[in-house]
Structures are given as structure tokens and as C-alpha cells.
Amino acid sequence: MATNKEKLQRTVRTKLKGYRVIVASNREPYLHYMKEGKIAYLNPPGGAAHTLDSILQACGGTWVAYGSGNADRKVVDQDSKIKLPPENPSYTLKRVWLNKEQVNGYYYGFSNEALWPLCHIVYTRPIFRQSDWEYYQQVNKMFAQTILEEIGQDKAFVWIQDYHLALVAKYIKEKRKDVICAQFWHIPWPNPEAFRICPMKKEILKGLLANDLLGFHLRYYDANFISTVEKEIEARIDKERTSIISRGHETMIRAFPISVDFQKISQDVESDEVKKRAERFKEEFSLSGDLKVILGLDRVDYTKGIPERLRAIGRLLEKYPQYKERFVFVQMGALSRVHISKYRDLNDEINDLVEKVNWEHSTESWSPIIFVRRTLSYPETVAFYRLGDICVVSSVHDGMNIVAKEYICAKNNLEGMLILSQFTGAARELSDAVFINPYDIEDFSEKIKDTLEMSKKEKTQRMARMRETISRNDIYRWANKFINDLVKTVKVLPRA
């Protein structure tokens, strides 16, 4: 019986026959940087880029992304291309070069001070600057032009990723209507009342509706998007086909809950390299003896609910001091978007909370919280998952949350449990997790206690069911479903 990976490869080979496959994203899958006078590379773990890397390795194609590493220019050819992955090249990365003004306006500005808070609805007010919008348009045009130059006169399927590139399909279609464009929106889509405050709402909607297929994580986001279009622009909604016809062009709207490479993570967690790194973590953080390890792995972002989980740990120890010296909470994650004041304020808040909880509850030989700001490599990430008796994902709003799924993949021995926010997309699939409302600190602390006390039998049964869910619906099945739905939609693609 064919695996999901083999089914995807067959789909690309038969149903996209004769078409160039182009993936476009802001973030690149491999970043090159200088280390001790030599060029090194990092494959950033987690997130969309790491997930899509598995697909490109399986199927080939060209990936267009912003080159952000300080040694990225040193390793590409005259066309700004490099074959990846370094150890076994199977696809091409074409880098787009941006200057500081473009990065500040397009990325830090419009993408992450306007669209990110607007779509997540987490009580952080979006900031809309005309100059940021102009840079956003400029960079989207650069991506579109790079893609058009890359494909030349060839037939092509362009798969656009996320909220950074909402206008790329429109700019491509203005020059080449025959190019097949599809986009996956990796973050939530808000309700129409929230989205209506965006001054550029009509341009963004028209940009997204230039795609032939537009995907979201959940049907709830599909419904929000369709309702937004109904209220904001002239368009016809076909409810039977779940599509939108705007200016004579039909865009299919579909839900595709993204996943991870179950088989790869499950295999890699048993490798010697990962086991050695796990042992080094144990030594570094003194995770010996009978201490239960509760872990969190997030970049420092206000959507991830890091302050909420720190408060819940503190409240647990206030109510149940007998849990002192029985567990340690290790929060790992890199600083994120420090150019933005909200992120700097969040970092200060986290520092204060860690200091407060540790001051109030530490003993001579134990502190409840270890907080480490560090960017982990992929093997380090898997090693970190291997150590965790409990993983806490407490996002206050999250399109999916890949960490939750990766942690489950790393638990071959079934010895672990996931505490999961009900406000993540992953909560729709992982019904055997322990659910929390991150805003309810009292209940959150009780759920941590319940999970610490959960019997081994119950944890094993729950973890087995969650692993079965992810193994069945892995990243290759996600991509296969996306492409098959595209083929049903776009009549020029082969059906064989």
C-alpha cells in the first residue's frame, strides 16, 4: 500500500505534468550565515517553512523566498539560486533580495503590525501606515516579477504561502492569466467586523481572489472570509461550490488543516544525534532524578500565551505547594520581531513573571521555571520534545500550531501528554489533548495538576489515538488534497 508521500509524488507527476511547480513564501527554508569565519546553514525548525521543505524534497520544484541570512548572497549563483537541501539537493531555492527599508515596511510594518494583529484578534491594536502599505505592494510586486521571470513562457502552478504575499497572485495574473495560482493562508481569518477596520481591505480581498484556489486551516475561517467578501466588495458567492466569483474569475475556498511529517519526526527522535542532544539538555538544565519536565516551545510572540502559562505555573504552586521540586517548566524560544514595541514589552513582561514565580516558589536546590531564549536547530527541537513529559501549547489564538503536532510525533513510547489551548486550529483534530482556556488561569493551573496526576494507562491511550490521527493526516496528505482540489477546479490541468 502506497504511503501518503508516495501518493503525493504520483499526484504531482501525473496531475501537474508539464507544469513548473513554484512555491513562494516570505521565509526561506535554509538560511546561510557566517560562523567563526566559515559559512554555515540553519534549517529553521517548526512553522510553515520547515513543513513545506518536506514537500519540496519529495516533489521537487522551485522555492522563491526572501534571502535573510548574512551569508545568503555568498552561496547562490548569478541567478540568486541554490540547490537544496545541502546534503541531498532535490529542489531549487531562488532568493529575493530586500533592503532595510523594504523589510521594515513590508515585513515588520504592514505584515506584522497590521495584518498579524488584525487576523489574530488578541487585543493588540493593528497599526496601518500608508508607507508600510506602499512597501508591502512593492515587495509583493518584486515576488511576482521574480516568479514570472523564473517561469518564462512555461506553464506553471504557483503555490503562494501566507499573509505576507496577499497581492502576488493579482500581480501575476495581470501579466499571465494562464498561470495557475493558489494560496494557503497560514493564520486565522477574522470575522468581518474585525477585518472591516483595515483601510486596505478591498485591495487585499481582490488580491486574494486572483487565486484559483484559496485555502485556510478551518471551515470557520472559510466562512469568515466569505462573509467578509460579501460585506466589502462586489462578488457573487456560489454556496454549492463554496466559491467566489469576482470580476469574472472564480476562486474556490477550501479548508486544509496543515500537518507535519509524522514519519520523519518519529524516526529522527530515535537517532543517536537526537539522543545525545537530549542528554546534553538534561545536563545543562539539571533535569535528573524524578523531576517531571513540562515544556513550552514558542518564539516570543503575544499570540502564544506565554505569560498565561507562567501565571498558571505560579498559581499551581500557590494552591498546591506539595508540587514544589516535583516538576520543572522549561520554556524555550527565540526572541521575535524585536523591532516592534509590543514584542519588546512582551519580553519585559515575561522576564518579570519568570523572576516573580521563581522568587516566590524556589527552594535552595530547585526553581520551577527555566526560560531560555534560543533558536533551536531541527535535531535540538526533536531532542527537546523527547524530554518533555508534558507539552503546553497555550496560544490565545492560533491558526493551527505545529508544535502540538510535532511533540506528538516525537512520542514513540507514548509517554507524554499535550495540554492544548481550545483557541488553536489543532484543537479541532487532537480531541484527546487536555484542553485549556488560557485566559482562565484558575482552570489552567488545575489542568496542569490533573495532567501531572494522570495515570500512565490513560496517557498512553490518549497519545496513541493522537498519533494515529497525525500519522493518517500528515503533511503529504495535506499537500495531496490541496493539489487534487486544485485539479478539480482548474479545467486546464490534466485529470489523468
Q: Structure pTM?
A: 0.95
Domain assignment of residue 378, yes or no: yes
Average pLDDT over every residue of 435-460: 98
Domain assignment of residue 276, yes or no: yes
Whole-number average pLDDT of the chain? 95
How far is Cα 116 from Cα 124, in angstroms, rounded to an integer?
10
| pLDDT recorded at residue 352 | 97
pLDDT band at residue 453 under the 50/70/90 scheme: very high
pLDDT in tens, 375-431: 888 999 999 999 999 999 999 999 999 999 999 999 999 999 999 999 999 999 999
pLDDT band at residue 45 under the 50/70/90 scheme: low
Q: Judge if 240 and 324 occupy the same domain.
A: no
Total domains, the chain = 2
Cell matching residue 470: 497525525
Q: Judge if 117 and 236 occupy the same domain.
A: yes
pLDDT band at residue 122 under the 50/70/90 scheme: confident
| pLDDT recorded at residue 430 | 98
Contact between 463 and 434 under an 8 Å Cβ cutoff? The reply is no
pLDDT at 492 over 70: no
pLDDT at 491 over 90: no
The position carrying cell 513529559 is: 389
| Residues contacting 100, CB < 8 A, separation 6+ | none
pLDDT in tens, 56-67: 999 999 999 999
Q: Judge if 110 and 195 occupy the same domain.
A: yes
Domain assignment of residue 495, yes or no: no
Domain assignment of residue 265, yes or no: no
Q: Judge if 479 and 413 occupy the same domain.
A: no
Domain assignment of residue 266, yes or no: no
Q: Judge if 369 and 320 occupy the same domain.
A: yes
Q: Judge if 416 and 315 occupy the same domain.
A: yes
Q: Judge if 253 and 314 occupy the same domain.
A: no
pLDDT band at residue 46 under the 50/70/90 scheme: low
Domain assignment of residue 496, yes or no: no
Q: Judge if 314 and 231 occupy the same domain.
A: no
pLDDT in tens, 315-328: 999 999 999 999 99
Residues of the domain holding 249:
4-259+475-489
**Spatial CA neighbour of 180 closest among 387, 16, 397, 422:** 16
Average pLDDT over every residue of 429-452: 98
Q: Judge if 461 and 480 occupy the same domain.
A: no
pLDDT at 496 over 60: no
Q: Judge if 151 and 295 occupy the same domain.
A: no
pLDDT at 81 over 80: yes
Q: Judge if 298 and 255 occupy the same domain.
A: no
Distance of CA 385 to the CA centre of its chain: 17
pLDDT at 163 over 70: yes
Amino acid, single-letter form, for residue 9: Q
pLDDT in tens, 124-145: 999 999 999 999 999 999 999 9
Q: Judge if 13 and 55 occupy the same domain.
A: yes
Domain assignment of residue 105, yes or no: yes
Domain assignment of residue 415, yes or no: yes
Cell matching residue 151: 517561469
pLDDT in tens, 253-288: 999 999 999 999 999 999 999 999 999 999 999 998
CATH classification at residue 200 = 3.40.50.2000
pLDDT in tens, 186-208: 999 999 999 999 999 999 999 99
